[in-house]
Amino acid sequence: MDKKNIDWSNLGFGYIKTDKRYVSAYKNGAWDEGQLIEDDMITMSECACVLQYSQTIFEGLKAYTTQDGKIVVFRPDLNAERLANSARRMEMPVFPEDRFVDAVEQVVRANKAFVPPYGTGATLYLRPYMFGINPVIGVKPAEEFQFRIFATPVGPYFKGGAKPITIKVSDFDRAAPHGTGNIKAGLNYAMSLHAIVTAHKEGFDENMYLDAGSRTKVEETGGANFLFVTKDNKIVTPKSDSILPSITRRSLMVVAKEYLGLEVEEREVYFDEVKDFAECGLCGTAAVISPVGKIYDHGNEICFPSGMEEMGPVTKKLYDTLTGIQMGRIEAPKGWIKVID
Ligand code: PLP
Ligand code: COI
Same domain? 82 vs 185: no
Q: Which amino acid is at 319?
A: Y
Examine the fold and report which residue of 98, 130, 154 is the final residue of a domain before the chain moves on: 154
Using alpha carbons, select from 174, 281, 158, 278 the residue that is nearest to residue 230. 278
What's the CA gap between 285 and 223, in Å, rounded? Answer: 9
Of 20, 168, 184, 217, the active-site residue reads: 184
- Ligand 1 pocket, mutate which of 244, 249, 319, 325 (most atoms under 8 A from CB): 244
Q: By the 8 A CB rule, do 93 and 145 touch?
A: yes
Same domain? 174 vs 311: yes
Same domain? 175 vs 311: yes
Same domain? 174 vs 316: yes
**Cβ neighbours of 298 (radius 10 Å):** 7
CATH classification of the domain holding 193: 3.20.10.10
Instruction: Report which protein residue has its CA nearest ligand 2's atom 3.
Output: 60
How far is the centre of ligand 2, averaged over its atoms, from the C-alpha of 184 (Å)? 9
Helices (H) then strands (E): counts for the chain: 6, 17
**CB distance 286 to ligand 2 below 6 Å:** yes
How far is the centre of ligand 1, averaged over its atoms, from the C-alpha of 135 (Å)? 30
**Cβ neighbours of 231 (radius 10 Å):** 10
Q: Which residues form the domain of 313?
A: 165-326
Per-residue pLDDT of the chain (341 residues; tens, 9 = 90+): 799 999 999 999 999 999 999 999 999 999 999 999 999 999 999 999 999 999 999 999 999 999 999 999 999 999 999 999 999 999 999 999 999 999 999 999 999 999 999 999 999 999 999 999 999 999 999 999 999 999 999 999 988 778 999 999 999 999 999 999 999 999 999 999 999 999 999 999 999 999 999 999 999 999 999 999 999 999 999 999 999 999 999 999 999 999 999 999 999 999 999 999 999 999 999 999 999 999 999 999 999 999 999 999 999 999 999 999 999 999 999 999 999 98
**CB distance 186 to ligand 2 below 6 Å:** no
Same domain? 91 vs 206: no
Same domain? 295 vs 217: yes
CATH classification of the domain holding 26: 3.30.470.10
Examine the fold and report which residue of 131, 154, 177 is the final residue of a domain before the chain moves on: 154
Residue 24 resides in a domain? yes
**CB distance 284 to ligand 1 below 6 Å:** yes
Q: By the 8 A CB rule, do 297 and 168 touch?
A: yes
The pLDDT value given to residue 339: 98
Total count of domains within the chain: 2
Same domain? 139 vs 180: no
Same domain? 133 vs 171: no
Same domain? 191 vs 232: yes
What residues does 282 pair with on adjacent strands? 226, 290
3-state secondary structure of 8: helix
Instruction: Report which protein residue has its CA nearest ligand 1's atom 1.
Output: 224
Strands 264-267 and 235-238: parallel
**CB distance 244 to ligand 1 below 6 Å:** yes
The pLDDT value given to residue 159: 82
Based on the residue annotation, tell me whether 184 is a catalytic residue of this protein: yes
The pLDDT value given to residue 80: 98
